Amino acid sequence: MLLASPLTAAAVLVLLAVIHLVRCLRSPLARLPGPSISKYTSLWLKWHEINATRTVYIHALHRRYGPVVRVAPNEVAFTSWAAIKEIYCSGGSGYDKTDFYDMFTIYGRRYRLISHYAPTLHRIFGSVLYLFAKPRETPLADTYVLETSQIHDAATFTLMSRLEEKSAELEPIDMAAECLDHMAAGIDTTGDGLCFLLWELSQPRSLKVQEKLARELLANPQAPLDQLPYLDAVVCECLRCYPPIPMSLPRYVPEGGRMVDGHWLPEKTVASCQAFSVHRINDDMFPEPDTFQPERWLQLDGDADRRRLLFAFANGGRGCVGKQ
C-alpha cells in the first residue's frame, strides 16, 4: 500500500499531463504563430508579468511572428485594424472584459467579499482592513472624494449631485467609487501623457518641433485648440510613441467562438491588442515607428487609417471617454 499511493499519484499526473498536451495540440490556437512553449503553458508569460516586462515581451513576439501571435495556450495578441474592430468595436457582440480589470476596482460591494457576505463583520473591522487592502498612489484624490461623499447637499454641478438624482438606491460609498474611478483615471493617464510629451520636446532632437509648435501657439493665442493642427499632430504623435496605457486590453471571445482577423478563436479565448505594438508594427501607416515625427499626422494621404490605429484610448463603446 505504501508503494501504491505514490505510483497511483504519479500515474494520475502523467495521465493529466497527456490529456493537457493532447488538448493543446488539438486546439485551433496551436496552428497560430508563436513560440513553441506558448502552446503548452502560460508560465513564461506569467514570468514576464511578474517582472513587468509583458508589454515588451509581446511586442518582441509581434516583431518576430507578425500581427497575430499566440502568447499562451488560451491567449492571442493582435495588432491589425481588423482585429481591433472585431474585438473592441463590434458593439454588443459579447467580448467581455477578463478578470484583469478587477484590479482596477476601487470600492463597490459586488467586489468586496467581506462587506457583501458579512456586513456586520465589515462594519466592525472595516477601518482596520482598509489600511491593508487599499494602498493608493493618489491619496489626495482619495481624501477629497471620500470627504465629498459625506456632504449630502452637494452642488448641482458636481458628479455626486448627478449620481444622487440618478438613483435613490445608490449609496454614498458607491457614488464615491464612481467619482474616484473618474478622478484616478484622469489624473494618472493625463499626467503620464504630459510628462512624456514634455520630456520628448525637451530633447535636442526635438528642438525644431518645439520651435514650430511655439510659433503656432504664439501666432494664434485665442484660437480653439482643435484649430491648431500642429499642436494636434504633436499630441497624436506623443500618444502614439508613449501611450499612457501601453499594455494589452484583454477580452474573452464570446460564446460560439469568433473569426478575428481571419483566424478562428474558440469561445473563452483571451484576445487582446496593446497600443505599444499597434502603434509600431503597422509600419505601412507609421514608417520609422520608433522616431518622433508629428508631421506624419499632417499628411492627408492615409490620415483616416492612421487615426483608426491610434489605440492610446482603446476603441469602441468602452474606450476611454477622455478621447473626446
| pLDDT above 70 (res 112) | no
Please tell me whether the overall predicted TM-score, pTM, comes out greater than 0.85 for this model: no
Query: Which pLDDT score is estimated for 25?
Result: 62
- Alpha-carbon span 217 to 183, nearest angstrom: 29
Q: Let me know: does 314 contact 246? Beta carbons within 8 Å.
A: no
Provide the annotated binding site: 320
Q: Let me know: does 311 contact 275? Beta carbons within 8 Å.
A: yes
| CA gyration radius, the chain | 24
162 residue type, one letter: R
Give per-residue burial for 185-207: e unless 16+ CB within 10 Å, then b.
Answer: beeebeeebeebbeebbeeeebe
The mean pLDDT of 88-96, rounded to a whole number, is 75
Q: Between 7 and 113, whose confidence is greater?
A: 7
List, for residues 128-184, the tens digit of each pLDDT value: 544 444 444 445 555 555 555 555 555 444 555 655 555 556 666 666 766 666 666
Query: Which pLDDT score is estimated for 283?
Result: 84
List, for residues 194-246, the tens digit of each pLDDT value: 999 999 999 999 999 999 999 999 999 888 888 899 999 999 999 999 999 99
Provide the annotated binding site for heme: 320
Residue found under cell 462594519: 123
Return the number of other C-beta atoms located less than 10 Å from residue 265's C-beta. Answer: 25
Which stretches of the chain are DSSP H helices? Answer: 4-26, 43-50, 54-65, 81-88, 113-117, 119-133, 139-149, 159-166, 172-202, 207-219, 229-241, 275-281, 303-308
- CA atoms in the 13 A half-sphere facing the CB of 52: 0
Q: Dihedrals φ, ψ of 258, to 5°?
A: -145, 155
Query: What does DSSP assign to residue 253?
Result: P
